[in-house]
């Protein structure tokens, strides 16, 4: 894929799995794949500065059409020079279209073929979001990668409802593509189809016919069992072109990232690192730590060796003290640790793929997390 300064290059595929080492070149920088995108939904990765987010290895971050359109308003962001300048981040940005928020946040959402009508979860205002309006907002925000508006439904659901949403997502993808005019931005389509493998494969083939620069797998991590998610990823990725980046939306746990990488996924986003960090949960190679627990009161060890931040020398005991004392520094430091941990995980995964030893890396991590190996 090569388009207007954007280029995806598949550098190597692991000999034993579907894991891919790739590179997405953009006008604002190179993204080494697989990669994790910290979530800056409202223009901020909660509790952190973007300098901190970049310093721990983040190459791209995510913003959200729905939230930014409500606050501060797309006109404000546009007047201040676009999203990059507004938030002080000069690397690539991907903006989600708002489809998931229509499913998860908005009150009294009604989906019609023209688009969605809903009440704002902030003040109850009546609003509309169509594929064309989502494209317009994302172009005004000036993101580097824009997602098409899709119809997300909850799971489990009747097959007829899943098929209806899947078919509508394809029609909306076509409309989004036709409305797109910003040459400094590329669009990714989103594969829907619930937990129906055949619908997923069909949806993927239909979207591939539209020839998007990249493809996402959406509508997962909404309460289904991990095995079901892995099954759907395994069914979907073979239908996606090898010369385009693949993005699994809203996922997830470190285990899920490695399982998805093994199945050919390149890009991830999730609020889990910062959400867990705010709640005293740290990710490590031995599993999650709850730093509120009494066992850490006299613990002199750092949270995780080899996860480098400006404060990685600080002890678990001190971090526990911050949370017990209600100090705001605790959530900030642990959120940054978790982002750094995810970026380290992706860096080590890239190295393992390059050396055809991803299975060994995967098994070592899974054993540390107490998880069964599937490869």
Give 19-47 pLDDT, tens digit per residue.
Answer: 999 999 999 999 999 999 999 999 999 99
Summarised one tens digit per residue, pLDDT across range 50-72 is 999 999 999 999 999 989 999 99
Of 244, 251, 189, the residue nearest 220 (C-alpha): 251
Q: What was the pLDDT predicted at 272? A: 97
Q: How many angstroms separate the first and last alpha carbons of the chain? A: 30
Per-residue pLDDT, averaged over 141-158, amounts to 93
Q: What was the pLDDT predicted at 103? A: 74
Per-residue pLDDT, averaged over 143-154, amounts to 94
Q: Which domains does the chain have, with CATH numbers?
A: 2-276+339-369 (3.20.20.105)
Q: What was the pLDDT predicted at 126? A: 80
Q: Which run of H or E residues covers position 30?
A: strand 29-33
Phi first, then psi, for residue 250 (nearest 5°) are 75, 20
CA-CA distance, 229 to 235, in Å (whole number)? 10
Q: What was the pLDDT predicted at 221? A: 87
**How would you write 150-213 as a 3-class SS string?**
CCCCCCCCCHHHHHHHHHHHHHHHHHHHHHCCCCCCEEEEEECCCCCHHHHHHHHHHHHHCCCC
Question: What's the mean per-residue pLDDT of the chain?
Answer: 95
Per-residue pLDDT, averaged over 121-144, amounts to 92
Examine the pLDDT at 18 and tell me if it is beyond 70. yes
pTM: 0.97
Examine the pLDDT at 104 and tell me if it is beyond 80. no
Q: What was the pLDDT predicted at 121? A: 81
Examine the pLDDT at 341 and tell me if it is beyond 70. yes
Examine the pLDDT at 223 and tell me if it is beyond 90. no
Rounded to the nearest angstrom, the gap between the alpha carbon of residue 177 and the centroid of all alpha carbons in its chain is: 21
CA distances (Å), origin 325, targets 292, 321, 328, 332:
10, 6, 9, 14
How many residues does this entry show for the chain?
A: 375
Examine the pLDDT at 268 and tell me if it is beyond 90. yes
Of 1, 6, 34, 36, the residue nearest 20 (C-alpha): 34
Of 194, 196, 195, 191, the residue nearest 206 (C-alpha): 191
Q: What percent of the chain has pLDDT over 90?
A: 88
Per-residue pLDDT, averaged over 304-331, amounts to 96
Examine the pLDDT at 106 and tell me if it is beyond 70. no
Residues with catalytic annotation? 96, 269
Q: Which residue is associated with the tokens 């580097």?
A: 144
Examine the pLDDT at 258 and tell me if it is beyond 70. yes
Q: What was the pLDDT predicted at 124? A: 81
């Amino acid at each position: 894929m090569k388009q207007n300064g954007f280029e995806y290059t598949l550098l190597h595929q692991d000999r034993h799995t579907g894991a891919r080492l790739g590179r997405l070149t953009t006008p604002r920088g190179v993204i080494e794949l697989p990669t994790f995108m910290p979530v800056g939904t409202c223009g901020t990765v909660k509790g952190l500065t973007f300098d901190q987010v970049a310093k721990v290895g983040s190459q791209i971050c995510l913003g959200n059409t729905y939230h930014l359109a409500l606050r501060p308003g797309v006109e404000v962001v546009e007047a201040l020079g676009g999203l990059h300048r507004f938030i002080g981040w000069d690397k690539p940005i991907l903006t989600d279209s708002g489809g998931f928020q229509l499913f998860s946040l908005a009150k009294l959402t009604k989906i019609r073929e023209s688009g969605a009508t809903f009440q704002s979860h902030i003040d109850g205002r009546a609003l509309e979001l169509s594929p064309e309006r989502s494209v317009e907002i994302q172009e005004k925000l000036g993101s580097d990668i824009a997602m098409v508006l899709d119809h997300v439904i909850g799971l489990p659901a009747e097959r007829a409802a899943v098929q209806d949403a899947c078919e509508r997502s394809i029609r909306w993808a076509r409309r989004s593509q036709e409305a797109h005019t910003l040459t400094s931005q590329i669009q990714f389509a989103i594969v829907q189809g619930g937990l129906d493998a055949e619908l997923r494969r069909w949806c993927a083939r239909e979207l591939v016919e539209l020839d998007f620069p990249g493809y996402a797998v959406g509508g997962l991590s909404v309460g289904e069992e991990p095995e079901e998610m892995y099954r759907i990823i395994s069914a979907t990725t073979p239908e996606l072109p090898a010369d385009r980046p693949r993005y699994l939306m809203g996922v997830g746990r470190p285990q899920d990232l490695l399982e998805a990488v093994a199945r050919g996924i390149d890009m991830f986003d999730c609020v889990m690192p910062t959400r867990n960090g705010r709640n005293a949960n740290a990710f490590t190679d031995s599993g999650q730590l709850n730093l509120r627990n009494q066992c850490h009161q006299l613990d002199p060890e750092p949270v995780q060796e080899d996860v480098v931040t400006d404060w990685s020398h600080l002890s678990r005991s001190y971090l526990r003290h911050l949370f017990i004392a209600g100090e705001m520094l605790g959530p900030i430091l642990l959120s940054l640790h978790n982002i750094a941990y995810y970026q380290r995980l992706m860096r080590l995964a890239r190295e393992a793929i390059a050396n055809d030893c991803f299975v060994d890396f995967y098994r070592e991590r899974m054993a540390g997390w107490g998880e069964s190996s599937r490869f």
